[in-house]
A and B are shown apart, each in its own frame.
Chain A
């Protein structure tokens, strides 16, 4: 069994009573709670501005001003409240997001980012090195891997997204679909147990979209996918979370949520063609 399989089998996400607002702004997220089981694929749907991207960023601790100072492990048993497990801490120090028993906190942030791979909406934001090789090697080198290990990871992860041999290519001269796949290879190279994907299918042509779906289906860990492409959600996701105006409005099996015409209508969405 490879290292990535071990990681993925013990990985899960737990979010409890998460609220967030940017300084001086209105609430972006209000009292969000959910869990993701190991290997489960979750679709995060909702109208634009619902808070989907902000929620995903919390999973990777990308909003540093909000990180609690919390040391130690917490239990990941559903039903056992995080607030009950933290004795003596004031409210600001209670972790709201837990990745595989590890609370997302200031002290754990490096390990959290190793466990959660984050795919950004615009691949140009994520591909910041001049060549594909350097970009995919960026994560493994930051993990402290040796040169040989990093090279091996670059080769393996490029092969897993169908781009073997792309190492010397310039990141400027790739199609959008290729850029998305290189971004994904950069994420895979860190061997995360959880993938957080922000609009991975936007602006892709059908072939690039199908290719990406195929790659994601093979990923062994948990995934949470924020997307407007509800047909992909039907195809790919076990469960759906419906977010609107920063609140979790519904959660359940994909067909139950997306097939509920009244619910979808209420939150500015449409029942996907495949469920009509």
Chain B
């Protein structure tokens, strides 16, 4: 589970060997291109090709990208569908298509970025670019605990399945899913408290202090 997002982050392809800053800037450039070019323009096809070629270059299987996109599309679709419903005529559908295309390309680029550099390297690069500490702390803690929480949810789901002796009704499924999520939220809050305690116990006073790991120590 822990490598769900960045399974190929420590790969050895040509892209992985680029300097970290080059990777970050390439990703930003690709996202800018994807979001600035109008989707009716032929150039958007070229941008899409570049992005998916980048995945091939980094030896990230397209099937892997497609599977991640399957998770990304439903919420994106829900967000975009409101536009044709609220706007009349072609404008609404054009906006709908724009959101889907730009969202897909930006998400694929972000996926490429986290898969061509280990997450700590990404954080270190952002830090060098003077991204505010608070933002970095949020990113770092989110990456660290997303999987812990996911595992916790997984264990609760398994425990529920172990005591489900027949297929529940749709209503019962939704009800127990809501209970699981509620329980997860409470556990997450408790955990946040304990993590804060652990930070205090090692002298944390609200300021981030940080040194970079020497390059030769990295794998």
- Contacts from A to B (Cβ < 8 Å): 57, 60, 62, 110, 113-114, 117-118, 120, 122, 124-131, 133-134, 137-139, 141-143, 147, 150-151, 167-168, 170-173, 186-187, 190
Which residues of B176-197 have CB atoms within 8 Å of chain A's CB atoms? 191, 194-195, 197
Decide if A172 touches B2 in the complex (CB within 8 Å): yes
Interface of B is mostly: helix
A134 to B148, CA, bound (A): 19
Inter-chain CA distance A127–B198, complex, in Å, is 9
Please indicate the chain A residues that have their CB under 8 angstroms from the CB of B147 in the complex: 172
Q: Please choose the segment from B55-63, B109-117, B200-208 that sits at the chain A interface, where 4 or more of its residues have CB less than 8 A away.
A: B200-208
Q: Once the chains bind, are B211 and A141 in contact (CB under 8 Å)?
A: yes
Is B203 within 8 A of A128, CB to CB?
no
A-chain residues with CB within 8 Å of residue B191 when the two chains form the complex: 124-125
**Which residues from B are CB-within-8-Å of A134?**
120, 210, 213
Among the listed B144, B202, B205, B209, which residue makes an inter-chain contact with A171, where contact means beta carbons less than 8 Å apart? Answer: B144
Task: Tell me which residues across on chain B come within 8 A of A110, comparing CB atoms.
Answer: 203, 205
Q: How many A-B residue pairs lie within 8 Å, measured between CB atoms?
A: 92
Closest to A127 in B: B144
Smallest beta-carbon distance B190→chain A, Å: 10
Q: How far is the CA of A173 from the CA of B144 in the complex (A)?
A: 11
Which residues from chain A contact B201 at a C-beta distance below 8 Å? 60, 62, 113, 117-118, 120
B33 at the interface (CB under 8 A from A): no
> Is there a chain A Cβ closer than 8 Å to B218's Cβ?
yes
> Is A62 touching B197 in the complex (CB atoms < 8 A)?
yes
B49 at the A interface (CB under 8 A): no
Q: Which of B123, B148, B194 contacts A120 (CB 8 A)?
A: B194
| Minimum C-beta distance from A133 to chain B (A) | 5
Residues on A with C-beta less than 8 A from B202 are 113, 138-139, 142, 186-187, 190
**B48-81: which residues lie under 8 A (CB-CB) from chain A?**
none
B194 partner residues in chain A, CB cutoff 8 A: 120, 122, 125
Chain B interface residue count, Cβ-Cβ cutoff 8 angstroms = 33
Determine whether the beta carbon of B213 is less than 8 Å from that of A142.
no
- B198 contacts across to A, CB distance below 8 A: 118, 120, 125-126, 128
Question: Could you tell me if A113 and B203 are in contact, using CB atoms closer than 8 angstroms?
Answer: yes
A149–B83 Cα distance when bound, in Å, is 58
Provide the bound-state CA to CA distance between A168 and B216, in Å: 10
Min CB gap B10→A, angstroms:
9
A183 to chain B, nearest CB (A): 9
Smallest Cβ distance from B47 to chain A, in angstroms?
Answer: 31
Shortest distance from the beta carbon of B171 to any chain A beta carbon, whole Å:
34
Q: Mark B28-42, 1 if CB is under 8 A from A, else 0.
A: 000000000000000
In chain B between 127 and 175, which residues have their CB closer than 8 angstroms to a CB of chain A?
140-141, 143-145, 147-148
Residues of B within 8 A of A128 (CB): 140-141, 144-145, 195, 198-199
Return the chain B residue nearest A60 by Cβ: B201
Contact at A129–B197, with CB atoms within 8 Å? no
> Are A141 and B217 interface neighbours, CB within 8 A?
no
With A120-B197, A128-B195 already in contact, the answer to whether A142 and B204 are too (CB < 8 A) is yes
B143, B201, B202 interface centre (most CB from chain A within 10 Å): B202
Q: Is the CB of A114 within 8 A of B203?
A: yes
Complex CA gap A62/B194 in Å reads 10
Contact B209 A142 (CB under 8 A): yes
Contacts of B195 in A (CB 8 A): 125-126, 128
Do the beta carbons of A141 and B200 come within 8 Å of each other?
Answer: no
Asked if B8 is an interface residue, CB under 8 A from chain A, the answer is no
